[in-house]
Structures are given as structure tokens and as C-alpha cells.
Chain A
Amino acid sequence: MKAWAWMLGGLTLWGFHFLGVYLIASVADVAAEADDPAWRMAGLGFSAACVLAGVALGLLALRRLRGAEGEVSRFRREIAVLGFGVAVVAMIWQALPTLTGH
């Protein structure tokens, strides 16, 4: 269970980030304007927090990879690192519209 949580952690974080970014922009659209500066800052703050979490967990996964023993354990931890790496790139990409203001 723990192994699967690590392997899927990056994707889960990415999914959580996507939902959050979309939710914040949608609420902003109803409460004020979608590109209202305060709401944009909230969205960017959320994205920054998720990216930081991704980087931190990715580094932790990398440290766990170094301590891997056995083929299967090594494979699992490689997947975990890859997942967080992909997630960080994806979350930065998804934050760009909020950053550029569109």
C-alpha cells in the first residue's frame, strides 16, 4: 500500500493541483473576475505550494532510491522519482496561464 502510494504520489499531486487551479479560477469567475489580481495571487500561491511539495517529495524519493535493495524495490522507487519529476514539470506548465494572466 505504501509502495503504491509512493509510486502514484506524483500523479496524485498533479491531479490535486489541476483540480485546485481549476477550482480557484472558477470560484474567482463567480465571486469577482477570473483574472482578478487577488485571486490570481491565490492561484499562484497554490501552484507554488504544490510545486514545492513535488520537489520536496521528489528529493525524498530520490534519497529512498539510493537505499533501495533488490530489483523490485529499486524499480518501485525509480517509478516514484519519475512520477514526482513529471508532476513538477506538469504543474509548472499548468501554472503558466495564471502567471501570464490569461
Chain B
Amino acid sequence: MFAWIATVAAGKMRFTTPGLFVLGALIIFTMGGLTGVMVAMVPFDWQAHDSYFIVAHLHYVLIGGMVFPLFAAIYYWLPMSSSRPLSERLGKWVFWLMFSGMHLTFLPMHLTGLMGMPRRVYTYLPDRGWEIPNMISTVGAFLFGAAVLLWIVDMVRNFRPFGKDAGNVYGGPGLEWLPTGLYSVRSIPVVKSLYPLWDQKNLARDVEAGRYFLPNTATGERETIVTSTLNAEPQYLQRMPAPSGWHVWGAVFTAAFFLLLTVQAYLPSVVCGVLAVYCLMHWCWLLDRPRIQPTVDVGAGIELPTYVSGPSSHGWWAMLITLIVAGMVGALLGFSYVFLWSRQPESWAPPPDLPLLLPVVAAYAGAGLLAWASCWTLRLDRPRTPAVATLLMLAAVGLVGAGLAMDLDHWLATGLRPEVNAQGATVYALIGWQGFFVAVSGLMGLYALLRWLAGHVEAARPSTFDLIGLFLGFTAAQGAASVLLTRLFPGAGM
């Protein structure tokens, strides 16, 4: 909030329709935040919870934080895909109707809530004093509806997604307003300010004339440049995926998987899940492509590599950061285990016998070692290296599966069940979380096998195996850690 207020204060505010929506958003969101802080106090929330006070609060937050910025964005960026911008005059009517309607609707709800009106009721007894505020809310709601109706009218009258777009109607400084075609910008510019289109007067002309990086594609494909974190120095050429529908279908089937679960259509849901995995693997297939020339000239005589792996590659960091987040979740589960023990140490049953711990830890340790060995082998670049590396990776996948199976088997044999007590809940939560990772490891193993069968496993392209190796290494470490925790703390001597 303070950053946004500073931006408005340090600049010169123009009260165009998007500008009005943004200012309205700041005001409404702040009001929602104030009531939010109020309900964050338990004594207050004891009274306000599940009352209309909360309804008022959440709508101030959502309408201020999401709806108004959404309309600001629509008005600001619509000229990028429409040959006519939306009407400024109608837009101001939309804003003021929406702003006043919103306050008229939700401000009285603070009062009705504190007067005792609960959420999610369709009727109530008279003489509680709720009738008048609710009537005011109703009037406000109709005003808000009128605003949306007016916006729809504006869209119908002006939104024309064909032909040349209307362009930078509001004179914004951002790079999204550079001339583009189906290929995005003709050349990738060097910018020297936060407001490039204002400060670099000839930028649009020079970009279109191809005076910056990659004016004509260096490899004949879609490509862009990956630059360094702090100073945006070019690091390597990123070959972009070719057009395909696989990621779209992957999204469709993923959504179908979850939505079908909500209506308890389990078999169709599983089918969609399998199809989603298939589409995502097909999409991934297109990402690690055969090598081309080792370096290319991207412009200004700068030669950049066309393939990087390891810590120089952003994909490697993406996997690492994902694993850090996953590790945090695992750590939280471990914390829950220790915390719940500390509340009721006497309810903790003894773990499986200590000798049974050894094969499980050995399986996980072996898996980690094999995953590392697979990546190391791949880089050796000998004739049978791809086969050996793939085999080692598959063995690692098998071992994490074996570790999980053994752990589950040992705990089931003790008679502990997840629904029995806190120990059961946390132990099986850890096993379940690990199970998810083992399942994904299995899919990655399958993917590695398919890559090898198609001849895509080679020393010159280690990225896929590097990332699978990272994931397997994490899965092995997480499994070992959770096994050691649940079996050694607090241990059998209690």
C-alpha cells in the first residue's frame, strides 16, 4: 500500500478511467484491511465471526483488491487487443456507479453484522433493526449491477478484436506498448530507465528497425535471451517451444481431474488425471531439444551459448526453489510431529523395532547415491553411457519406492492408524507426503526411460537428467529424514 501511495504521490496522477479505478482500489482495499486487522484480534472476532461484519470486510478486500484493479486493467490494456478503446465518458460513469454502489451495499453490512445478523441466512425475524440497513444494501447492489450493465454495453459498442489495435491510448511508458506482431517485438531492446517509452524517445522506432538483440532469429526458431539477475547481462539464448496444444490439453485435463473429484466421479477423474500426465509429459518432451550450433551471434557481436545446464540454467534453479518449498512443507510436518508429542508425550506408542530402520535408510541412501551416479555417468560421454545412466536412474526410483513401501509396512505392523491419535496422524501424514514424491519420482523414471528409448539421452544434453536427479535426491533425503525422525524421536525407550 505504501509503495502504491508513494507512486501516486511522487508522480503526476491523471484521473483517467483506469486511474480512477486504481485510486478507488487503494481506498477500498485500505478500508477492507482495517476491518481485517480488527477481526484478527480474537476477542473481537469472537463476536464478529460468521456475521455480516465479515461479509462487509471480505467484499471490501476483494472488490478493492481484485475487482477494481481488474477493471482498471481492462480499461488500460484493452486498446492492445481492440481496434477501438473503451469509452472514457462511459468508463467514468461505470466507475462512479460502481464506487458508490459498492459503498452503499457493503458499508451498512458492518452495522448489521455487529447488530447480530449471521452469514448465510435467507430469512430472519423482524424487529432486530436489520431491515433498513439491508434495504440500503439492496439499493447499492442494484447500483453496482447498473455499473456492470453499463460496462457490458461499453464492451459491446467498442470491443473489436480484429484489425489493427488502438495502441497506447493512455501514453503509458511500459515496454508492452512497443510495436509487435505475432512474434512479439522485432528486436529485444536495452532499456536504461523504469519508464522506457518516455525516456528513450526513439525506442519504438529502433526496436522495429531491428537495431537491438536478435533482430532476425539466430537459429530460425522462436528464441529469446536469458540475462543475469542484477544487471541484465545476456547469459544464453533460450530456444522457445514451438506452437503446440499439449500444455492447453494438460491444463484442461488437470482441471477436469480436480473438478470431477468434487462431484465424486472418481473413475472419470482418474482417467483425466492419467491424460493430464500424458499431455504434460508430451509438452515436456518438446523442451529439451536436440543440440544445434554451440553458440550464436545475438547482435552487437555478442556470442551466446545455445544450451546450458547446471546452476547456470534457470530451469535448474526452478527445480531447486521448488524443492526448497517442498522441503519447508516437509519440515512443517516434522515440526507438527514434534510439537504434538510435546503436548502429550504419554500417548506416544513405541516405533517399529530399531533393526528395521536400517534397510529403509539404506534404501533411501542408495537411491540418493544412484541418482547422483546417474548424472555423473551421463557426463562421461562413452558409448554405453546413456543406457547405464538411465538404468542407474531407474534403480534410484525403485529404491525410493522400496524405502516407502518398507516404512509403510513397518508402521502398519505396529497397529498404529492415522485416525487413532496425533502420533498416527502425523506419522501417516509424513508417509503420505513422501508417497506423493515417490509417485512423481515414478513418473520421472518413466519419462527418463522413454527419453532413452527415443535416443534423447546424451552427454551434450544433461539438463533433463540433472533435474530428475535433483528431485530424486530430495525425495531420498526427505524420506530418510522423516523415517529417522519418527523412529528415533522420542524412540522406543518411553
Contacts and interface: CB of A to CB of B under 8 A. Distances in A.
Interface string A70-85: 0010011000000000
A76 B231 CA distance: 11
B342 interface: yes
Interface string A16-34: 0000000000100110000
B342 A72 contact: no
B266 interface: no
A29 B230 contact: no
A26 B339 contact: yes
Contacts of B339: 26
A30 B342 contact: yes
Chain B, interface size category, equals under 10
Contacts of B345: 30
B230 A75 contact: yes
Q: B-side binding surface: helix, strand, loop or mixed?
A: helix
Contacts of A29: 342
Q: A-side binding surface: helix, strand, loop or mixed?
A: helix
Nearest to A27: B342
Interface string B324-338: 000000000000001
Nearest to A4: B229
A76 B229 CA distance: 11
A29 B341 CA distance: 12
A10 B231 CA distance: 22
Contacts of B230: 72, 75-76
A17 B231 CA distance: 32
B342 to A, nearest CB: 5
Nearest to B341: A30
Contacts of B342: 26, 29-30
A29 B231 CA distance: 48
A26 B339 CA distance: 8
A75 B339 CA distance: 42
A94 B333 CA distance: 24
Nearest to A72: B231
10 contacts: A26-B338, A26-B339, A26-B342, A29-B342, A30-B342, A30-B345, A72-B230, A72-B231, A75-B230, A76-B230
Pairs of residues from A and B, 7 with the lowest C-beta to C-beta distance, nearest first: A30-B342, A72-B231, A72-B230, A29-B342, A26-B342, A76-B230, A75-B230
Given A26-B338, A26-B339, A76-B230, 7 more contacts: A26-B342, A29-B342, A30-B342, A30-B345, A72-B230, A72-B231, A75-B230
Interface of B: 230-231, 338-339, 342, 345
